[in-house]
Structure 1
Amino acid sequence: MPSPKTTAFFPRLALAALILSSAGAVAFAATPTATAAPATAQSAAKAVPGAPVPAGSPQQTGPVHFQFAIYYAKTPATDPMAALRSQLAKLGGSPKLLKAAPTPATATEPVVFANWNTTTVLKEYRAPSMEMLQRFGRGISREQAEALQTADKALIIDFAHPAQQSSAAMQKALQLTLQVARDTNGLLWDEETREVFSPDEWQKRRIDTWAGGVPDMSQHTTIHAYRSGDLVRAITLGMSKFGLPDVVVSDFSWSSNRPMGNLVNMFSQAMVEGATLAQPGQYDLDLRALKHAAARDPQLTHLKPNAAAVARLSLVNGTWESGDPQNRLYEIRFDRYKGPDRYAQQTAMLVSVFGADEDSVTRLKHNDELLAASKAANAQLPKLRDAFAKGLQPGEYILVKAPFTTRSGSNEWMWVEVARWNGDVIEGLLKNEPVEVPNLHAGQMVKVSQAKVFDYMRRYADGREEGNETSKIIARMQGPKK
């Protein structure tokens, strides 16, 4: 029997990097795992990295193809191929079961090809490791994860259909794969998002979340975020199942991970709902105009009163990196917003779209208690610098509070998220909007001196925080809020 690599519509992807934590639909990854450069839609379209994406629909014109699989740690309850044929008969023969794998271009109707593999799974289609399953396993028990380590049987199912039939064909593919897994007592694998599901979790996330024929894309994709250089890069996995480009955002900070993930999810949702670009490289994403209520409403609920709820996106062809999905890439940029650099423009977009609490200035004199707390914080900085040099965990970041000279010559103390730390020089993103310091903006890359740092705050990937003791003292000095 042929191996999965020779029967699939496209080659199996290597597993993504270790995911260490997650926030919403965003997964933190240390580094991407190497895969071959894409030889499919991106190269076929001859997309020039950095060039504006074309106007019109982002939907691909050629057939959509994707792969699911069902793993078996022991002999399945019934023959998987018989179960597949039975379910196809109940669906009315669509998709059409093929005896041999076609080339994607020949998919003029919904088709499916199945490879019941009992010989090369451990070598060429091995289930994820225990460590991976702790992060990629959805509804998987420890016992199931352990059993998967020796799984040597899998039903590998390739689907293809014309792009214009994407939503209806995807719903059938999801239902078909689920029912076969239930009938045969298997666990489901999504090749594009690189996740393993229990049947109940597949039902919950992949089937029950559709509304009016529209999927909630946050349940059909994942976002991997990892440090790239001094800052963070995030990319979706799974958009190609719908014939759409995956979405990339680069050069943001870990403290912006959640709003950036929300932005990416909402743009992905807009595309699956039929968004089109009126002109090359530009799209105005209106959160309130999204049709899928379960995808839209949680975002609207958490908007600040000053939120515009509209993101003016710049879109360019993304630059493919090792570990990225084999797909077209749309990269979001922020140059339609004002700011002295791309970091400030990025912050301006997030504040405009989601709103923000207004920064205020507290005017006070440093008393002995405050100075003692600052001195204690400063004593911890060498240890923090060493930890930063060794490499923080994905999702972890350090803020320092440093002075900036005002118009009057006094100091305005503001937080900076550390991006680089060399000796006494700390470079990072300004996290406050200055009140009395001209020519500075929130999100701007700035330099400060370690020797002048007043306090620090370290936030770990699991949400724990340490430091920032001076803020507690300042709060007491101010007294209760009226």
Structure 2
Amino acid sequence: MNLPFRLALAALILSMGTSALAATPATPPAATQTAAKPVPGTPVPAGSPQQTGPIRFQFAIYYAKTPATDPMAALRGALGKSGGSPKLLASMPTPSSVSAPVVFANWNTTTVLKEYRAPDMESLQRFGRGISREQAEALQKADKALILDFAHPSQQSSTAMQKALQVTLQVARDTGGLLWDEETREVFSPDEWQKRRIDSWANGLPDVSQHMTIHAYRSGEMVRAITLGMGKFGLPDVVVSDFSWSSNRPMGSLLNAFSQAMAEGITLAKPGQFDMDLRALKHAAARDPLLSGLKTNAAAVARLSLVNGTWESGDPQNRLYEIRFDRYKGPDRYAQQNALLSSVFGADEDPVTRLKHNDELLAASKAATAQLPKLRDAFAKGLQPGEYILVKAPFTTAAGGNEWMWVEVARWNGDAIEGLLKNEPVDVQGLHAGQMVKVSQAKVFDYIRIYPDGRREGNETSKIIARMQGAKK
């Protein structure tokens, strides 16, 4: 099956994946559920997020050429090298009979190109890990794969997962193959698998950002992001909806942090609520980058509201926890969202410049507004994933003047622009940063267009304002 294209968060602090295109197994594995399907939108239960039934997941090893040695013999050798390895079975057991770690191996040499085809070149460019172009091209003709279905009791999640990772790597090294993670939809070189999936453990805990990916894509007028890979640990994947591309970095950090907290064994004291302290994360490599990126006014604590998520096409076949923001104040969900992110990670100080518009500034604004019809057309045709537009517009103050603030465009129809307010008002009552507002194109003063690669255009007036401010000092 072809899954919907998604571009991953482009500027996250921790490692993420990029595309949701995936190879197609004959029988896709799903995280084992032991309870009735939860109702979307209802609070998640109190207690541990860890599932109680057996955990199942699938890895594979692709071969673009004849393996250096028989993969099944290499597998038996890897399983026999150390204690605690899963038992090799002739068929996968029923969930109720999984009382110890097991693995079922399918050495497929006949239907790989039809039923388990490796990702195409475009996909490998986005989620190939340590894969050369030569290897990616060779994978397009790969007609052999060793498909490994692992299962173990949830109580043995950490130890059994480490052993499965090590066994799969050993077989790939012995046979000369490339590794595939079915849940995260990534292909790895053996060295990259070693680095990300094995060396990243510390004191029995995974750096979970190295074991899952985050896919983010436009959903309607806003963005939706979801983790893939948490089912391998018997944990729900995490989703957050209705945010803007300009918030991709803190949203990615939020998803990473909560996923890490679950992997470290948190419990929820109340249904649908969890107070997450970034400083309480145990894994240093997962915790320290988050803390080092905090601004001076950051609280480092997120009061999360958690509900059962709504599954969409392309999502992992797993339980979903959706993060909501209604434990924070704000006139709408966007303002509440902004309040959480600003509180947890801190907010930039937003100095107010008070000045009169001179001829030079007005000329620069006129040149900028001349570009607005072209920007509106580009917006209507559809921006690239990760691309967004800000416009600077006036908001009337209590004294009758104007406070000029930036708005991230969510809708643009004719003269009417709707979007998220990106500044915290100083002289305008009743507005909050992050709130959905409406402005007129005819009154826009300047614009900024941000491309997925971080390039920016526009905002020429800021240079003049900075010079004017400097001259006043």
What TM-score, normalized by structure 2, do the two folds share? Answer: 0.96
CA deviations on 1:320-379 (whole Å, 9 max, x unpaired) are: 001100000000000000000000000000000000122221000101110001001100
Instruction: Work out which of the residue numbers 248, 252, 258 in structure 1 matches 2:249.
Output: 258
CA positional deviation for 1:62: 0.1
CA deviations on 1:203-244 (whole Å, 9 max, x unpaired) are: 010001100000001000000000001100000000000000
Number of the residue aligned with 2:222: 231
Amino acid at match of 1:124: E
CA positional deviation for 1:44: 4.4
CA positional deviation for 1:94: 2.1
User: In the aligned structure 2, how far is the partner of 1:45 from the partner of 1:183?
Assistant: 43
Cα distance change on mapping 1:32 and 1:396 into 2, 3 Å: farther
Instruction: Work out which of the residue numbers 281, 296, 320 in structure 1 matches 2:287.
Output: 296
Number of the residue aligned with 1:115: 106
Contact 1:29 1:394 survives alignment (8 Å): no
Number of the residue aligned with 1:461: 452
CA deviations on 1:26-45 (whole Å, 9 max, x unpaired) are: 45669999999998656943
User: In the aligned structure 2, how far is the partner of 1:345 from the partner of 1:119?
Assistant: 53
Contact 1:29 1:226 survives alignment (8 Å): no
Q: Secondary structure at the match of 1:22?
A: coil
Gaps of 5+ in 2: none
Number of the residue aligned with 1:439: 430
CA positional deviation for 1:23: 2.4
Contact 1:32 1:324 survives alignment (8 Å): no
Number of the residue aligned with 1:17: 5
Amino acid at match of 1:401: K
Q: Secondary structure at the match of 2:307?
A: strand
User: In the aligned structure 2, how far is the partner of 1:43 from the partner of 1:411?
Assistant: 58
Instruction: Work out which of the residue numbers 56, 65, 69 in structure 2 matches 1:74.
Output: 65
Q: Secondary structure at the match of 1:90?
A: coil
User: In the aligned structure 2, how far is the partner of 1:42 from the partner of 1:451?
Assistant: 55
> 1:215 and 2:203 equivalent?
no
User: In the aligned structure 1, how far is the partner of 2:442 from the partner of 2:23?
Assistant: 39
Contact 2:416 2:439 survives alignment (8 Å): yes
User: In the aligned structure 2, how far is the partner of 1:250 from the partner of 1:266?
Assistant: 17
Instruction: Work out which of the residue numbers 119, 125, 134 in structure 2 matches 1:134.
Output: 125
Number of the residue aligned with 1:9: none
Cα distance change on mapping 1:473 and 1:67 into 2, 3 Å: same
Instruction: Work out which of the residue numbers 238, 242, 245 in structure 1 matches 2:233.
Output: 242
Higher mean Cα deviation, 354-363 or 67-76? 354-363
Instruction: Work out which of the residue numbers 112, 132, 136 in structure 2 matches 1:145.
Output: 136
Gaps of 5+ in 1: 1-12
> 1:477 and 2:468 equivalent?
yes
Number of the residue aligned with 2:156: 165
Q: Secondary structure at the match of 2:389?
A: strand
CA deviations on 1:41-92 (whole Å, 9 max, x unpaired) are: 5694320000000000000000000000000000000000000000111023
Amino acid at match of 1:449: S
Q: Secondary structure at the match of 2:322?
A: strand
Q: Secondary structure at the match of 1:389?
A: helix
Higher mean Cα deviation, 151-160 or 24-33? 24-33
Instruction: Work out which of the residue numbers 347, 371, 376 in structure 2 matches 1:385.
Output: 376
Amino acid at match of 1:106: S
User: In the aligned structure 2, how far is the partner of 1:246 from the partner of 1:144?
Assistant: 31
Cα distance change on mapping 1:408 and 1:31 into 2, 3 Å: farther
Instruction: Work out which of the residue numbers 62, 71, 75 in structure 2 matches 1:84.
Output: 75
Q: Secondary structure at the match of 1:23?
A: coil
Cα distance change on mapping 1:430 and 1:20 into 2, 3 Å: same
Counting aligned pairs with the same residue, the percent is 82
Number of the residue aligned with 1:4: none
Aligned length: 470
Amino acid at match of 1:377: A
What TM-score, normalized by structure 1, do the two folds share? Answer: 0.94
CA deviations on 1:165-190 (whole Å, 9 max, x unpaired) are: 00000000000000100000000000
Amino acid at match of 1:436: D
Cα distance change on mapping 1:85 and 1:463 into 2, 3 Å: same
Number of the residue aligned with 2:389: 398
RMSD: 2.1
CA positional deviation for 1:446: 0.2
